[in-house]
Amino acid sequence: MDVSQLKQQAAERAVGFIQSGMIVGLGVGSTALLAVRCIAQLLQAGQLKEILGVPCSVQTAEEAERLGIPLTTLEEHPGVDLTIDGADEIDPEFNLIKGGGGALLREKIVAQASKREIIIIDESKLSPVLGTVWAVPVEVIPFGWGSQTRFLESLGAKVTVRKDKNGALYKTDQGNFILDCGFGPIPKPAELAMKLSNRAGIVEHGLFLDIATDIIVAGKDGIRHLRREMR
């Protein structure tokens, strides 16, 4: 069984936790999109009813609407029962790096509003220490963004300004820029997250700490469901 088939199974496992009447966060990326499509199929078959989705990006919203999933907002429904999303890297403490798809701000807002955050990944995303294989995306406002580059470099990051497929500066759904910051292995992600959060001009960062409740892992040995021990 190849990785794409395993991801499909992982998406189906995650969607299996959704119950009729729930408010569901709809994540971003190829793996999360599999879950969105699975939700649409169950709605069409009548196996799920009265589901409302809170999309984490404009692209996800457009796809959900195309598939016939009814949507809502956090203003209308501030409490999300369950969100299904992907991740770029995960450590043994269930801390994540997210933002490869450029929607880290909305993803974190929806995640923090969710009672349960289910992350779907393939086993290549498992890492002993965050930053080992993935840079930390940092979303910054356009004004003074160069000063944020210098600040991030002072913290030890190798900074790359994200660009779109046409070579222009990539813009998020909020019109901000993303600086991809290669810190290398991050032994104390909470300390780094605090420094990033305290900097004016940095809107959000891709360190998602103490947010994920469940990890569905697709790997060579099949599908594993890991749950974080709540402290």
pLDDT score at 220: 82
Indicate whether 35 and 77 sit together in one domain: yes
Query: Structural domain tally of the chain?
Result: 2
pLDDT score at 231: 53
Indicate whether 39 and 104 sit together in one domain: yes
Indicate whether 25 and 42 sit together in one domain: yes
Residue 131 lies in a domain: no
Split at pLDDT 50, 70, 90, the class of 69 is: very high
- b/e map 94-129, b = 16+ CB within 10 Å: bbbbbbbbbbbbbbbbbbebbeebbbbbbeebbbeb
Residues 6+ away with beta carbon under 8 Å from 147? 201
- Which of 12, 75, 93, 107 is catalytic? The answer is 107
Residue range 113-120: mean pLDDT, rounded: 97
Single pTM value for the model? 0.94
pLDDT score at 6: 85
Indicate whether 92 and 15 sit together in one domain: yes
Split at pLDDT 50, 70, 90, the class of 230 is: low
What count of other Cβ atoms lies within 10 Å of the Cβ of residue 79?
9
pLDDT score at 64: 97
Residue range 87-113: mean pLDDT, rounded: 97
CATH number of the domain within which 188 lies: 3.30.70.260
Question: Nearest 5°: CA angle at 219, between 113 and 231?
Answer: 40
Indicate whether 106 and 182 sit together in one domain: no
Split at pLDDT 50, 70, 90, the class of 1 is: low
Q: What is the mean pLDDT of the chain?
A: 95
Q: Which residue has the higher pLDDT, 230 or 15?
A: 15
Q: Give the helix ranges, DSSP H, for the chain.
A: 3-15, 30-45, 58-67, 104-112, 145-154, 189-197
Domain that holds residue 174: 136-203
Q: What is the pLDDT of residues 176-209, one digit of tens each?
A: 999 999 999 999 999 999 999 999 999 999 999 9
Q: What is the pLDDT of residues 213-229, one digit of tens each?
A: 999 999 888 899 999 87
Q: What is the pLDDT of residues 146-164, one digit of tens each?
A: 999 999 999 999 999 999 9
pLDDT score at 202: 98
Residue 107 is a catalytic residue: yes
Task: Kindly compute the dihedral angle of the four CA atoms of residues 196, 199, 200, 205, in this order, to the nearest 10 degrees.
Answer: 0
Indicate whether 111 and 17 sit together in one domain: yes
